Structure formats: structure tokens, C-alpha cells
Structure 1
Amino acid sequence: MTEISVRDIKVICEDNYQLAATIFKPTQNIKGAVLIGPATGIKRQFYANFAQFLAKNGFAVLTYDNRGIGDSLYGSVKDSKASLQCWGQLDQPAALDELMKCFPKTHYHLVGHSAGGQLFGLLPNAKQLKSIFNYACSSGRLWNMRLSHQLKAHFFMNFFIPTSNALFGHTKAQWVGMGEPLPKQVAKQWQTWCNGSGYVKMAFNKSIEQHYYEELTTPSMWVNATDDDIANDANVQDMLKVCPKLSAQTLTLKPEDYDLTEIGHMKFFSRKSQALWKLPLEWLEKHSA
């Protein structure tokens, strides 16, 4: 494995909002450049070990905090105007532009986690991606979940979110183990999209007037786990219907096949799950040749 350097930077969005980001750079020849799209309410530090792994195997990596999250929150979260939509229309495109600026003349890839891989069709520069590797990315539709988890999901989405927003001006997602405190509009949009079919499709011809889901043909791998109650097989397929021309493969992991007790929605990027990291590495190497 090659040596790497790590440095924090600022990414400037089209509306001049500054995102906190980190660059992981191999000191030797670069095979390609990877943007890691974070899940809802998850800080970029969560992906640091995985990013270092990719960098040590020759891939430059950029991780970032969406606006309103982690080091990209300025002031109080209740004053943040962030939404899921602007994460896809402003934040991720700016992060990809920065990746291309830092590492010109190479192939660019998205490794998306949950929302970080669901919003790609909102990026005006999405066609710059040579490939997409998504983990736990699905529509998150509540009605496709098994009944026992559906009850928990309905409580969070349809009671906890509106109640927390009304009482505190934001969603205290950290109280129920759902990441960082969420800006009001992020949580409200999340609630709306997961209550329907096709996730982001719920906003087409409403708040979203232009998107690229129906024209992208990018090679993509959609990976989920049997113990993930959110991104189950039905919800992965529900999301794929939004992007009918996408060159998509799917893979469902069983924890026991990798000597793991759980993978779920979050553990793929855990250091304890390094046995799984060969999957995105092999994908990236294949699509950087």
C-alpha cells in the first residue's frame, strides 16, 4: 500500500456556501478519484478509515459534510435552511467539481451511502462520473419495510420529526440514534420522500423542476445487506425505477458470509467490516482501467 497525505479544505458551492471537506491523496500515481457521498446526518469523519483504505490503494478521495451538518453548520441548526434537495443540487455537485479540480485528467467515481448515493440524479455534473458504487441506497419507502421495523420507522418519520421540528425548530435525530441534529427542511423532505414511492421522485415537477435521473447511463453497483431494514431489496428496486437507463447491478450481502455479526444500514463503512471493502475497491479498479 502507498503512503498518503490528508488535508482539510473548504468547498465553495454555487451559492457561495462553504462546505468542510477532507482530501485523502496517495503520494504515488493516482488510479482515479472518489467522492464519498454521506448518509443523512452523518459527518465526514465517519468515512475516514474507509477513505484512507481507498487512498492507500491508489485512489484520491474527497469526503465532505453537507450544509447544516458537522463542520458545515454555521450557527444554530434551527436556523439552517438546508434541505435534502440542496444537498443534491448544490453540495454534491460542488464537491465533485472540487474533486475534479484537485485531480484533473483522471476517472471520477461516486461511493454513495444512503442519501449520498440517492441524490446523484440532481447533479448537473453527474455525467462526469465514470461509475457509481452505492451502499444502502434505496427509496427508503416505509411501506416496503417489514412490519416490525415499519412501526419504528413510522414513529420516527411521522411523529418524531414533525414533533421535534415544532418544539425545537429542527429534528433532534441524535436522540434516537439517527446521526447529527437535522435542519428542519432536511427532516421534513426526508419524511415526505420516504412516505411515497421513488424517494426523490416525490419532488419531481414540484420543488424539483430539473433532474437527470432519466437520462443517466452510468455503470453502477447497488449493494445492500440482508439485515438492513431500510434499504431492503424492494426499496432498492423502487429507487432503481427512478433511473431506468442506468447500467445497474445489485448485490445483497449476508453478514455471516463475511464472518460479521451485522452490517445493517451503517456498518459497511466500519473498520470492523474491512472484509467488505474489497468490493468497492475491485469495482473502482475495474472502472478506472
Structure 2
Amino acid sequence: MSPAAIREEPFAPGPPGALLRGLLALPPEPALVVTINGATGVPARFYQPFARWLAAERNAAVLTWDYRDFGGSGAPYRSTACMTDWVLHDPVTMREALRARFPGLPLWLIGHSLGGIAAGFQDDIGDLARVITVAAGHGHISDHPPAMRIRASLLWYLLGPVSTAALGYLPARWLGLGLDLPKGVFWQWRRWLLDRGGPPADPSLGGLRRPGITGPLTMIALSDDTMLPPASVERMRAWHPGAEIDYRLIRPGDAGLAAIGHIQAFHSRNAVLWPRLIA
């Protein structure tokens, strides 16, 4: 389908007290629905070129959206939001709204980093036709290569706690970590990366919703990802014992690229990778 046939439509459902905003990339008669759940600190607009491409490529209605009190869904500065809201509630709210908007169409989830990590904790995940996770895994600070471990230690033990306590939010822009984050999101994110038990050990998440993902699960690791290296992605297999897992390792050279890293697989300059993400 020609990209010119794709139109965009605001999409803004939400639970009481929370405003969730997104954007649908729409072909004339979609046969598939896809929600793109983003990484921590990465706004929905970053994924929109990929969403428009995917809408044309697969005749899909593709939703990009921001978690509550973040990006287009509000400001983090007086927020009480935490990762539990972003993991358990916001993605499910968006999927319920998509099911109402497109009844009967198969629904995919593409989860980048947090968006993929969160999937196993969501009660409706078994209803999805397909789940694709990209750079999502069971990580710990010890998994980082040495240089990244030093930077992460400064963030988790010094810069993050001090700045968040002083300001009431994480100044992620100043720290080079994307958009500013609610303080509750920072503290919970920190706990996950410093606890070897990771998210499954977080009592506020209530453990994994067994059997969790039982259908097709594509787990994509990026060889030069220093935030969640391939070993971290592999470790997440244990969260989904009933899934039909297709694990893929993508190296930058496979697509003629010099680097990809944790975030850039979805950047428009790396569009050569996109068919590999949905194959």
C-alpha cells in the first residue's frame, strides 16, 4: 500500500484521573491492529515513522501512545504515577479501547524495552494474536559492560536519587535519558535494575500473570545493546514458559549499519531494520 493512503487520527481514551493520548496511523480498511508500547523516557512521536510504515506495509491500524503523566499524556512534575500504572493499567486501557474501535480484528503488541518487559504482567495478554518484544529483558546493573555500569551506577546511586528528591521528578532530559519522568516511575525503575529478581520480585506488580503469553512471542535482542544486552533478553524466556518463542539476535552489520544500541532500532534512519522486526 502507498504511504500516501495512510491518514492519522488522535486517540485518547483513559481511566478516571488519567489522560492517555495517542495517534492512530490508519489505512482505508485495516485488517490488523497493532499497539506500540514504548520504552521508558521515549515519547510516542519517536515511533510514529515506524507506525506509518507498518500501517502501509501490513494494512494495519497502528497506535503510538504515551504513558500517563508523560509525553503527550501529561506532565510528570506533580505526578503520582509509578511503573505499576504504566505496566498494569495504561497498556490494558489502550487495548480495551482498540478492541472497541476495531472489533473482531487481530491485535498485535510490539513492546520496546519497558513495553515488552511489561507484557507478561497484564491480565489480557493471552488474547493477543502476536507479541513482539524488542530490546526487552530481565536486566540487572551487573549485566552492563564496564563503561555502561559506571554510568548506570552514577544514575541509580547519585544523580537520580539526588535530583529526584530535590525536584520531585527525574530530570531525564538533563541526564540524557529522554523526557522527564514522574518520581514514582524513577524509583520503581531503579528498584528493578538493582534487584536481581527484577520486575517479578516487585510486590506491587503481583508477580507474573501465569500462564502469561501462551501464543507466538518474538523476542528480539540487539547485539550492541548496552542497557539490556542479549543475555538479559534471553533471561526473560523464563517469564513465559507457555509461549511459542522465536528468539532473534540482530547485529548492526546484518543490515549494513554501524550501530543500533538500545533505542535506535525504531529510528527512521534505521528503517532498513524494520522488516526484520515484524517478519
- TM bucket (normalised to shorter chain) is over 0.9
AA at the equivalent of 1:87: W
User: Counterpart in 2 of 1:250?
Assistant: 247
| Match status 1:107 vs 2:109 | no
> Structure 1 residue 166: deviation in Å?
1.1
| Match status 1:69 vs 2:70 | yes
C-alpha separation in 2, matches of 1:230 and 1:268: 14
The answer (yes or no) to whether the contact 2:126–2:215 under 8 Å persists in 1 is yes
What is the correspondence of 1:11-30 to structure 2 with a 5 Å cutoff? 11-13=13-15, 15-28=16-29, 30=30
Over the aligned positions, Cα root-mean-square deviation in angstroms equals 1.6
Q: For residues 72-93 of structure 1, what are the alpha-carbon distances to aligned partners after superposition, in whole Å with 9 as ceiling and x for unaligned?
A: 115xx23101111111111000
User: Counterpart in 1 of 2:163?
Assistant: 164
The answer (yes or no) to whether the contact 1:192–1:202 under 8 Å persists in 2 is no
> Structure 1 residue 175: deviation in Å?
1.3
Among all aligned residue pairs of Structure 1 and Structure 2, give the percentage whose two residues are the same amino acid: 27
Aligned residues: 276
Which has the higher mean CA deviation after the structures are superposed, 247-256 or 60-69?
247-256
What is the correspondence of 1:197-216 to structure 2 with a 5 Å cutoff? 197-203=196-202, 206-209=203-206, 211-216=208-213
AA at the equivalent of 1:33: V
Q: For residues 128-168 of structure 1, what are the alpha-carbon distances to aligned partners after superposition, in whole Å with 9 as ceiling and x for unaligned?
A: 21111111111231112222211111111222221111111
User: Counterpart in 1 of 2:51?
Assistant: 51
User: Counterpart in 1 of 2:216?
Assistant: 219
Q: After the TM superposition, list the runs of 4 or more consecutive aligned residues in structure 1 that deviate by more than 3 angstroms.
A: none
What is the correspondence of 1:71-150 to structure 2 with a 5 Å cutoff? 71-74=72-75, 77-150=76-149
Q: For residues 235-279 of structure 1, what are the alpha-carbon distances to aligned partners after superposition, in whole Å with 9 as ceiling and x for unaligned?
A: 112222223222222111111121112110111001111111112
> Structure 1 residue 186: deviation in Å?
0.3
C-alpha separation in 2, matches of 1:198 and 1:242: 12
Q: TM-score, normalised by structure 2?
A: 0.94
The answer (yes or no) to whether the contact 2:200–2:207 under 8 Å persists in 1 is no
AA at the equivalent of 2:164: N
User: Counterpart in 2 of 1:9?
Assistant: 11
Q: TM-score, normalised by structure 1?
A: 0.91
C-alpha separation in 1, matches of 2:207 and 2:222: 32
> Structure 1 residue 213: deviation in Å?
4.7
C-alpha separation in 2, matches of 1:64 and 1:215: 23
Which 5+ residue runs of structure 1 have no aligned equivalent?
283-289
